[in-house]
C-alpha cells in the first residue's frame, strides 16, 4: 500500500472504461438481494395508491395474486406482509393479531398456494391491531414488556401456522426472540426462520408507513420507551448480540440509509446475515424528489440499494424491490 505513488499509480486507470469498471466492482446488487414489503387491505377492487408513498399500493386479497405476479417472475426471493386493519377490528389488546383468519393469515395461505417459492415474512408487533397504535400492551400508559412478549409469541405461532416462512419481530420488546423461538419450536415449527428487527430506532422516517397501515392517527405518544435512541450505536451491538444469543437467524437494522454506520459495525462484529429496511420515509424522499424532477429516481434508488450492499448487507427490504428488479434483470 505504501508504494502507491503518483504518477506510477493512477487510480483513475481502473475507472477508464465500462469493462474495467465492471471488472473491479467490489459489490453487486441483484434481485436476490430484495425483499418487497406490501400492504394488504380488506375487500376487492383495484389497488389503492398511498398518498404519502406514490407508487405504493394497498392491495385487497382479490387482487393480491395479480399484484405479486411480476415480483415472482423477477425472482424476488421474499415478500413482507403488512395488514391495513379496519378500525372496528382494533382494540387495546390487539387480539386480531391472533385471529387465524386475519388479513395476514389469509394472504399467507393464498400466496403460499400461488407462489410456493416466494418466502413470506410476517411482521410480529401489535401496532396494526391496537387502537392505541403501540407495538405491545399498555399498562398504566407504559408498554409492558413481558405481557407483550406473551401475546407476540402467540402472534408468531399464528403466522407460522398460516404458512409464514420468516418471522420478523419488529416490536423491540426485551427477550422476545428467545420466547418466540421457544414458542415456534414447541409448536413444531423448528425450521421457521427468525429475522429480528434487532436494532430498530425510534425514527421520524416511519411516518408514511403509519399512514399506510392507518396507525398514524391512532398512535398515542411515541415509541421511545422501546425503540432505540438515534443517538446510540454501542447499544445496537448489545441488541444484536442478545438477539443472536436468543436464536435469531438473521438480523435487521432499521431505518436504512441514515444508519449505514450501524450496519457496518454489526457486520464487522458478528458472523450473521444482516439486512436493512429502507423504510417508508426514505422511499418517500426519493420518490418525491424523482416525481418533482429534482433527481433521477431510478438512478438514486439503485445507488441507495447498492450502498446497503457496500455497508455489509445480505439484502434490503425496499418498496422499490419490483422497480429495482425490473432494471437489474433487464
Which of the residues are catalytic? 200, 254
Of 58, 210, 309, 323, the residue at the interface with ligand PBG (CB under 6 A) is 210
- The smaller minimum CB distance to ligand PBG, of residues 135 and 246, is found at 135
134 interacts with ligand PBG by CB under 6 A: no
C-alpha cell at 313: 448487507
**Residue at shortest CB range from ligand PBG:** 209
User: What percent of the residues of the chain are helix, what percent strand, and what percent coil, each to the nearest 5?
Assistant: 45, 20, 35
239 interacts with ligand PBG by CB under 6 A: no
36 interacts with ligand PBG by CB under 6 A: no
CA distance 207 to 194: 26
Q: What DSSP assignment string belongs to 139-159?
A: ETTEEEHHHHHHHHHHHHHHH
CA distance 192 to 183: 11
- The smaller minimum CB distance to ligand PBG, of residues 202 and 328, is found at 202
Q: How far is the CB of 39 from ligand PBG (least distance, A)?
A: 10
- What is the separation, in whole angstroms, between the first and last Cα of the chain? 38
- The smaller minimum CB distance to ligand PBG, of residues 72 and 285, is found at 285
C-alpha cell at 255: 431505518
Of 170, 192, 196, 304, the residue at the interface with ligand PBG (CB under 6 A) is 170
Site string for ligand PBG, 311-330 (x = CB under 6 A): --------------------
Contact region for ligand PBG (CB under 6 A) — 41-49, 66-74, 123-131, 322-330? Answer: 123-131
Residue pair 263/303 in contact (Cβ under 8 Å)? The answer is no
Q: What is the DSSP letter of 205?
A: G
Of 39, 129, 201, 206, the residue at the interface with ligand PBG (CB under 6 A) is 206
Contacts of 169 (CB under 8 A, 6+ apart): 124, 125, 152, 156, 176, 177, 180, 194, 196, 197
Contact region for ligand PBG (CB under 6 A) — 61-69, 120-128, 186-194, 241-249? Answer: 120-128
Contact region for ligand PBG (CB under 6 A) — 17-25, 26-34, 54-62, 119-127? Answer: 119-127
Contact region for ligand PBG (CB under 6 A) — 104-112, 137-145, 206-214, 261-269? Answer: 206-214
Q: How far is the CB of 31 from ligand PBG (least distance, A)?
A: 20
CA distance 154 to 169: 12
C-alpha cell at 266: 454489526
- The smaller minimum CB distance to ligand PBG, of residues 105 and 126, is found at 126
Q: CA geometry: angle at 252 spanning 145 and 181, to 5°?
A: 50
| Cβ density class 54-71: b for 16+ within 10 Å, e for less | eebbbbbbebbeebbeeb
Question: Using CB under 6 A, which residues numbered 271 to 290 contact ligand PBG?
Answer: 279-280
135 interacts with ligand PBG by CB under 6 A: yes
Long-range CB pairs of 47-52, under 8 A, 24+ apart, other chains included: 50/208, 50/211, 50/212, 51/211, 52/207, 52/208, 52/211, 52/212, 52/280, 52/284
Contact region for ligand PBG (CB under 6 A) — 88-96, 142-150, 205-213, 235-243? Answer: 205-213
- Can you give the binding site for ligand PBG, defined by CB under 6 A? 123, 125, 127, 135, 170, 206, 209-210, 279-280
Amino acid at each position: 500500500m505504501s508504494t502507491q505513488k503518483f504518477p506510477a499509480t493512477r487510480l483513475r486507470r481502473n475507472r477508464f472504461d465500462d469493462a474495467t469498471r465492471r471488472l473491479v466492482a467490489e459489490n453487486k446488487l441483484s434481485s436476490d438481494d430484495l425483499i418487497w414489503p406490501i400492504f394488504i387491505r380488506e375487500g376487492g377492487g383495484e389497488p389503492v395508491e398511498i398518498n404519502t408513498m406514490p407508487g405504493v399500493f394497498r392491495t385487497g386479497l382479490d387482487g393480491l395474486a395479480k399484484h405479486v405476479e411480476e415480483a415472482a417472475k423477477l425472482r424476488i426471493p421474499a415478500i413482507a406482509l403488512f395488514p391495513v386493519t379496519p378500525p372496528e377490528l382494533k382494540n387495546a389488546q390487539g387480539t386480531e393479531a391472533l385471529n387465524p383468519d386475519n388479513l395476514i393469515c389469509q394472504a399467507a395461505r393464498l400466496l403460499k398456494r400461488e407462489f410456493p417459492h416466494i418466502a413470506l415474512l410476517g411482521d410480529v408487533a401489535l401496532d396494526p391491531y391496537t387502537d392505541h397504535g403501540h407495538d405491545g400492551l399498555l399498562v398504566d400508559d407504559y408498554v409492558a414488556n413481558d405481557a407483550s412478549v406473551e401475546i407476540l409469541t402467540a402472534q408468531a405461532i399464528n403466522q407460522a401456522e398460516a404458512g409464514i416462512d420468516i418471522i420478523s419481530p419488529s416490536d423491540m420488546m426485551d427477550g422476545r426472540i428467545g420466547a418466540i423461538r421457544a414458542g415456534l419450536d414447541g409448536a413444531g415449527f423448528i425450521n421457521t426462520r427468525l429475522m429480528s428487527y434487532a436494532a430498530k430506532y425510534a425514527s421520524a422516517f416511519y411516518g408514511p408507513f403509519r399512514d399506510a397501515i392507518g396507525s398514524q392517527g391512532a398512535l398515542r405518544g411515541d415509541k421511545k420507551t422501546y425503540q432505540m435512541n438515534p443517538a446510540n450505536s454501542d447499544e445496537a451491538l448489545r441488541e444484536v448480540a442478545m438477539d443472536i444469543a436468543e436464536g435469531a437467524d438473521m438480523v435487521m437494522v432499521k431505518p436504512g440509509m441514515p444508519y449505514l454506520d450501524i450496519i457496518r459495525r454489526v457486520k464487522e462484529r458478528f458472523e450473521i446475515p444482516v439486512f436493512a429496511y429502507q423504510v417508508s420515509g426514505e422511499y418517500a424522499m426519493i420518490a418525491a424528489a424523482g416525481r418533482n424532477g429534482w433527481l433521477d429516481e431510478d438512478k438514486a434508488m439503485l445507488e441507495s440499494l447498492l450502498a446497503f450492499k457496500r455497508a455489509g448487507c445480505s439484502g434490503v427490504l425496499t418498496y422499490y424491490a419490483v422497480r429495482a428488479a425490473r432494471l437489474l434483470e433487464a
